[in-house]
Chains A and B, each alone.
Chain A
Amino acid sequence: SQQGEEDPQALSIQEGENATMNCSYKTSINNLQWYRQNSGRGLVHLILIRSNEREKHSGRLRVTLDTSKKSSSLLITASRAADTASYFCATELYTDKLIFGTGTRLQVFP
């Protein structure tokens, strides 16, 4: 069964607005990673947050992790049209493999 489930499945916003995507998972993890994928392209690594961390920032990205609720969120502030992509959370279990969620398709309108 899918380890990660993202919510919402799709999100449409205007440039300048913030976008929040959520990810829930089922089992204990070593770390959680967020990736971006432009249509038909490879994955770009955004942020890795370890199980003992609660929040991380990278530029306009902010990731939180709540291990008690088994959930994470990705916030993109001041969104741009170039942020249009699919965003995936991936949990790394203690076996090293990544288990990907179903993704959130973000559309940012200029």
Chain B
Amino acid sequence: NAGVMQNPRHLVRRRGQEARLRCSPMKGHSHVYWYRQLPEEGLKFMVYLQKENIIDESGMPKERFSAEFPKEGPSILRIQQVVRGDSAAYFCASSPGRGNEQFFGPGTRLTVL
């Protein structure tokens, strides 16, 4: 049973470009969470999704950021018109249901030049 998969592992974008980060949850997990980690800081919650539904997006910036978890395929975190402040590690986690431990992927390290 493969763990949570994220790709790409490293992504470099210039200011104004779009970044797409993908997350495939563990087999059997229908709950996906996205977190952002700035250097030397803890993780900050961004969004919680179940298949085809956004459950909680209270940690998502109001502009330029969006997330989806379609019926088929991975969850996508999309950042439009990236700025240098978006440079961070973005982690995805999945769980089989509420109240269970969350299993984290290896993260995508986004660098905005």
**B is bound to A:** yes
Partner of A97, one of B56, B105, B106: B56
Q: A30-B99, A31-B99, A43-B91 are in contact. Are A98 and B42 (CB under 8 A)?
A: no
Q: Which residues of A contact B48 (CB under 8 A)?
A: 96-97
Complex CA gap A42/B105 in Å reads 6
Contact A100 B99 (CB under 8 A): no
By beta carbon, the residue of chain A nearest B102 is A98
Q: Which residues of A contact B63 (CB under 8 A)?
A: none
Contact A101 B42 (CB under 8 A): yes
Complex CA gap A45/B101 in Å reads 8
Q: A41-B106, A42-B106, A97-B56 are in contact. Are A92 and B44 (CB under 8 A)?
A: no
Q: A97-B59, A98-B33 are in contact. Are A88 and B101 (CB under 8 A)?
A: no
Given contacts A43-B43, A45-B102, could you give 20 more A-B pairs where the C-beta distance is less than 8 Å? A2-B42, A33-B102, A42-B105, A43-B104, A44-B104, A48-B101, A88-B42, A92-B99, A96-B31, A96-B33, A96-B48, A96-B55, A97-B45, A97-B59, A98-B102, A99-B45, A100-B42, A100-B43, A100-B45, A101-B42
Interface residues of A (CB under 8 A from B): 2, 4, 30-31, 33, 35, 41-45, 48, 88, 90, 92, 95-103
